[in-house]
Amino acid sequence: MRILGIETSCDETGIAVYDDTHGLMSHELYSQVKLHADYGGVVPELASRDHVRKIIPLIKKALVDANTRGEELDGIAFTQGPGLVGALLVGSSVGRSLAYAWGIPALGVHHMEGHLLAPMLEDPAPEFPFVALLVSGGHSMLVEVKGIGQYRVLGESIDDAAGEAFDKTAKLLGLDYPGGPLLAKLAEQGEPGHYQFPRPMTDRPGLDFSFSGLKTFAANTIRDSDGAPQTQANIAYAFQEAVVDTLMIKCRRALKETGMKRLVIAGGVSANKMLREQMQKMMAGLRGEVFYPDLAFCTDNGAMIAYAGMQRLKAGQTSDLSAAARPRWPLDTLSPV
């Protein structure tokens, strides 16, 4: 089976062709970072317009690179939600229209299921069951995964997600957009021990996350600092360390609660170097395993949508032409495969 994957949930246009025998055959990604940089965040209307401009050329290139014609595909998977409604409508409209024209089925995919299954693109791939930590700009959640569609949300962010807190703190430090990766880079120059940031919601039971208070603590620390470059780096280090420690504490709790020894970490924040290093140490101490997607597939991409869509298309699931975009879509409402 050969699937075209289309991802347009936010500010990246991702297109990929995935084959269940040959693996990933092509992968195209266009980021709108420069477009939104002047505004310090994603402007939904501009994002939608840019998806319209880029999606067809990227689809054509992905098909050429995969040496595949549209009529030779076995299906199209598009991101149906969650995300920005205008951006979702671009991908879903194009995906369903092409599927109708080529006489093949189309399927709307849950964006977070795509992230959750992205490590399946790697070798070795994690086996079910496992605990998944999904950390990105819009989501932070822990999920018990027993199989595709068999999800139990253990905890999630009640305010700012981890990636959102990274970006907002980076902005307070005067870093450009998107600030998360730049803050992580600045933190590499920082020294431990100068600042002690709180580990939010770790002093009470439960697996939910809250990073808005940590962001406020960072804002107050930055305001009261001398503004020197090394001070800025030390603050970045302390902030990043607090986020990583918080995620580790919650993951350890989730593994204990479920009795599992296998952890999957996905989403944009999963590319963070400190997070990967510390999680690796933690899982080694627990005699468990940790899995990540390749760095190219941590952020939004078409490959993860193609893979997730293939699993459901194989099971006979399809979407009709009236399938609406779903800007809000709980992960644990998905049907099992």
Per-residue model confidence (pLDDT) at position 137 = 87
Positions at the binding site for Fe cation: 111, 115, 300
2-117+297-333 and 127-292: same fold? yes
Positions at the binding site: 111, 115, 134-138, 167, 180, 272, 300
Q: Which fold has domain 127-292?
A: Nucleotidyltransferase; domain 5 (3.30.420)
**Domains in the chain: boundaries:** 2-117+297-333, 127-292
Sequence-distant contacts of 292-296: CB under 8 A, at least 24 apart? 292/119, 292/122, 292/264, 292/265, 292/266, 293/115, 293/118, 293/119, 293/121, 293/122, 293/266, 294/121, 294/122, 295/271, 296/27, 296/29
- Per-residue pLDDT in tens (0 to 9) along the chain, 337 residues: 999 999 999 999 999 999 999 999 999 999 999 999 999 999 999 999 999 999 999 999 999 999 999 999 999 999 999 999 999 999 999 999 999 999 999 999 999 999 999 999 999 999 999 999 999 988 999 999 999 999 999 999 999 999 999 999 999 999 999 999 999 999 999 999 999 999 999 999 999 999 999 999 999 999 999 999 999 999 999 999 999 999 999 999 999 999 999 999 999 999 999 999 999 999 999 999 999 999 999 999 999 999 999 999 999 999 998 889 999 999 999 999 9
How much is the pTM?
Answer: 0.96
Positions at the binding site for substrate: 134-138, 167, 180, 272
The CATH H-level superfamily of 2-117+297-333 is ATPase, nucleotide binding domain (3.30.420.40)
Per-residue model confidence (pLDDT) at position 321 = 87
